[in-house]
Structure 1
Amino acid sequence: MKIELTQNAIDWFEDEVGLMPGGGVRFLGKVYGKTDIHEGFSVGMDIAQPGDVLAQEKINGITYFIDKNDEWFFSGHDLQVDFDKKADEPIYKFIEQTK
């Protein structure tokens, strides 16, 4: 599994969320909403430090990660994070992993 972020998403996390080198962002499944692969669940994010990591990407000293406890939510998929300037919010896309 891997996490990819567009430059727009990176800029938003650094500028609007105020993340600095040494910080971390955890992506997780949360109740309510909808994704491409889940009904009744959406992607949430939390400012946190990595613990038991399933996947991570370190960019500009900031660690973007998925915890092993959330494997059920992301299983079989990579996560792409973009940013929608018009809606002023991140966009999460699930890309099916190929073997």
Structure 2
Amino acid sequence: MNIQIGNKALSWFKEEMDVHRGDSIRFFVRYGGSSPLHEGFSLGVTKDEPMEIGAQTEIDGIVYFVEQADLWYFDGHDLHVEYNEQLNEPRYQYVQPS
């Protein structure tokens, strides 16, 4: 599984979550909501330290990751994070690798 983050989303994390070099951002599964992959579950985001990384990408010294225990949620898809200007929040896309 790969994680890709667009430039506008990177700016959002730095501004809204006060993220700096050396910090880590965790994408996690939460009960409630829905997604194109699993009804009743959605993706959350928090500033957190990794315990057992299942997938990660590092950009500008910031680690964006998913824990090993949450990989089931992605069902073999990559995570693409973009910025939704209308909602002023990240937008998650689940992309089948080619």
5 Å matches for 1:83-98?
Answer: 83-98=83-98
Contact preservation (8 Å) 1:52, 1:68: yes
Give the gaps of 5 or more residues in structure 2.
Answer: none
What is the identity, as a one-letter code, of the residue corresponding to 1:30? R
Identity %: 36
1:76 equivalent to 2:67? Answer no
Deviation at 1:97, TM superposition (A): 2.8
The residue that corresponds to 2:11 in the other structure is 11
Secondary structure, aligned partner of 1:20: coil
After TM superposition, give the deviation of residue 37 of structure 1 in Å.
Answer: 1.1
Matched residues, number: 98
Q: TM-score, normalised by structure 1?
A: 0.93
Supply the RMSD in Å over aligned alpha carbons. Answer: 1.0
**Structure 1: runs of 5+ lacking an equivalent:** none
1:93, CA displacement in angstroms? 0.5
Detail structure 1 runs of 4+ shifted over 3 Å in the superposition: none
For 2:46, the equivalent position in structure 1 comes to: 46
- Aligned equivalents of 1:75, 1:52: Cα separation in 2: 18
TM-score, normalised to structure 2's length? 0.94
